[in-house]
């Protein structure tokens, strides 16, 4: 996990920006579509790097026991996902509470994300690229790392409820956003619970994707 965090930081903060600069691009001067494509490439690169680290580090444990990194269409996991979706309003409430607890600086437009700028500009191509990032790429690799690897690994050292909670805390902290810690911890617990019940990464990935889509559509209002 420490290796993954370090690689995540290196790829997003140094490697991709360096390669973009070497190719003659500057993120600050890119159009909305350029920034969306930049985010997509960065997210894919971070995801592939994380999966490569897992593949390498788990090499000496192969073949892995049954139940690791399983994506299954069969089963009644749809009901677990539906139940998780019913908790979205509570996650949203926690988000508002968290924001109210954090002292927000009154700086202007510099804090507006590139996603929000593209939505304000109503650029359909940029919005479609961001939609792919938040509903496909990010849920896929985040679930592989946090629910697929970290959560079951922790069960070797502690009971399942504590493993779910600790993996949820790690999931929240990995977003490096103090304004979203509470909702992300709760969301991580919900997705961890869905994964633990279904033993299916597809279930938690779909729920994660639906939450991100819910937030994305809310920004578009």
Task: Answer yes or no: is 11 within a domain.
Answer: yes
The confidence score (pLDDT) of residue 116 equals 66
The confidence score (pLDDT) of residue 28 equals 76
Task: Answer yes or no: is 106 within a domain.
Answer: no
Task: Answer yes or no: is 23 within a domain.
Answer: yes
> How many CB atoms lie under 10 A from the CB of residue 56?
10
Task: Answer yes or no: is 213 within a domain.
Answer: yes
Task: Answer yes or no: is 131 within a domain.
Answer: yes
> How many CB atoms lie under 10 A from the CB of residue 22?
8
Number of domains in the chain: 1
Structural domain boundaries enclosing 143: 1-101+113-220
Q: What is the CA radius of gyration of the chain?
A: 18
Task: Answer yes or no: is 37 within a domain.
Answer: yes
Q: b or e along 80-97 (b: 16 or more beta carbons within 10 Å of the residue's beta carbon)?
A: bbeebeebbeebeebbee
Parts of the chain with a pLDDT under 50: 105-110
Task: Answer yes or no: is 107 within a domain.
Answer: no
Task: Answer yes or no: is 209 within a domain.
Answer: yes
The confidence score (pLDDT) of residue 106 equals 44
User: Rounded CA gap, 189 and 183, in Å?
Assistant: 10
């Amino acid at each position: 996990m420490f290796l993954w965090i370090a690689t995540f930081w290196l790829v997003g903060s140094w490697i991709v920006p360096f390669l973009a600069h070497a190719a003659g691009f500057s993120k600050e001067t890119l159009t909305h579509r350029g920034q969306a494509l930049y985010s997509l490439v960065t997210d894919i690169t971070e995801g592939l790097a994380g999966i490569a680290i897992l593949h390498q580090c788990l090499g000496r444990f192969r073949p892995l026991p049954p139940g690791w990194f399983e994506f299954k269409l069969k089963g009644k996991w749809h009901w677990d996902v539906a139940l998780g979706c019913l908790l979205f309003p509570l996650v949203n409430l926690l988000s508002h509470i968290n924001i109210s607890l954090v002292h927000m600086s009154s700086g202007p437009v510099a804090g507006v994300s590139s996603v929000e700028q593209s939505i304000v500009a109503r650029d359909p191509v940029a919005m479609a690229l961001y939609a792919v990032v938040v509903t496909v790429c990010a849920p896929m690799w985040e679930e592989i790392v946090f629910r697929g690897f970290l959560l079951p690994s922790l069960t070797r050292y502690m009971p399942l409820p504590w493993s779910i909670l600790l993996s949820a805390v790690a999931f929240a902290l990995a977003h490096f956003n103090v304004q979203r810690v509470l909702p992300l911890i709760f969301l991580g617990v919900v997705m961890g619970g869905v994964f633990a019940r279904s033993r299916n990464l597809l279930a938690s990935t779909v729920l994660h994707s639906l939450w991100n889509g819910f937030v994305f559509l809310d920004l578009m209002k």
